[in-house]
């Protein structure tokens, strides 16, 4: 095993079982895999890799402390990725997650990027729970680009250059179109495309056999396809309520949600004389604030 201790960083170039004095560890009992790069800069980080994983290229960077990453087994295809894991953050890849080329995944500030089973990533895909740098409002000095979790269901296909940003949630069986940008919820078994991505077709299913690499070379219907378990109709979407405030209700902190910004600001005007007391937030930000407020009262 090659070790590089320069700059207080440990760099491993072989995937094998490992543990150091800073409680960084790799849990893996399969054959050694060469050509990887695993960086540990902090303490208490854990990389867990299934025994039958199939890796093409892999770089995992643990920048801080208490980060976790896990990779499931692979029956077909390979995975290539450049992955950053920050403080208290998690990246979880299910079984049979494959890539055509190297994908980029980033999770910092206590966020998670969760990818389900049988997910197919094409080329130049990115899953970024964070923006990499903080942006602040110059008047309030409050942060405006908070990091948010990303959740990808089972049997999802991200086409080339599709990007998922913090807050993206993609339901099982769905397809994200070429060059699309997702930062919100996409339901199951649909096609979403565009910047920002919008649902353009519902009640669809897709399968892995390639149009020119798998017989028959014309596939006008599903008669030649072995259907997976992910054939389903698209579930009805719940009404979107993307705006929220955290307020005291009956003496307890709670989230109040709104369908439009106008509704939210009308509520603020009626219920608060101090805008700082009830700031307008994205729902995910409100969830974090509510958890912090409840914790402070324990």
The residues carrying an active-site annotation are: 133
Q: Which of 8, 94, 75, 6 is nearest to 43 (CA)?
A: 8
Alpha-carbon span 103 to 57, nearest angstrom: 10
Instruction: Give which of 296, 294, 285, 267 is closest to 110, Cα–Cα.
Output: 285
Distance CA 64, CA 120 (A): 29
Cα–Cα distance, 213 to 224 (Å, whole number): 14
Integer Cα distance of 27 and 17 in angstroms: 6
- 107 backbone dihedrals φ, ψ, rounded to 5°: -140, 120
Q: For residues 107 and 89, is the Cβ–Cβ distance under 8 A?
A: yes
- Assign 175 to helix, strand or coil: strand
């Amino acid at each position: 095993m090659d070790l590089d201790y320069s700059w207080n960083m440990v760099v491993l170039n072989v995937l094998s079982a490992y543990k150091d004095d800073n409680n960084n560890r790799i849990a893996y009992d399969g054959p050694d895999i060469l050509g990887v790069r695993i960086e540990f800069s902090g303490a208490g980080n854990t990389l867990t890799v299934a025994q039958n994983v199939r890796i093409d290229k892999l770089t995992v960077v643990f920048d801080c402390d208490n980060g976790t990453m896990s990779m499931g087994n692979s029956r077909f295809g390979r995975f290539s990725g450049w992955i950053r894991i920050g403080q208290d953050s998690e990246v979880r890849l299910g079984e049979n997650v494959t890539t055509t080329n190297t994908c980029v995944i980033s999770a910092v500030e206590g966020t998670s990027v969760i990818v389900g089973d049988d997910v197919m990533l094409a080329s130049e895909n990115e899953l970024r729970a964070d923006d990499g740098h903080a942006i602040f409002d110059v008047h309030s000095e409050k942060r405006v680009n908070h990091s948010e979790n990303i959740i990808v269901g089972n049997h999802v296909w991200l086409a080339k250059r599709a990007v998922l940003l913090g807050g993206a949630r993609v339901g099982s069986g769905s397809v994200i179109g070429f060059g699309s940008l997702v930062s919100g919820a996409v339901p199951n078994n649909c096609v979403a495309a565009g910047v920002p991505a919008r649902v353009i077709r519902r009640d669809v299913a897709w399968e892995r056999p390639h149009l020119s690499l798998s017989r028959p070379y014309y596939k006008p219907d599903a008669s030649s396809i072995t259907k997976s378990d992910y054939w389903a109709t698209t579930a009805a979407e719940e009404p979107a309520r993307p705006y929220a405030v955290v307020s005291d209700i009956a003496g307890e902190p709670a989230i109040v949600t709104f369908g439009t910004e106008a509704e939210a600001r009308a509520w603020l005007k009626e219920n608060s004389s101090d805008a700082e007391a009830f700031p307008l937030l994205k729902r995910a930000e409100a969830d974090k604030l509510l958890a912090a407020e409840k914790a402070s009262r324990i």
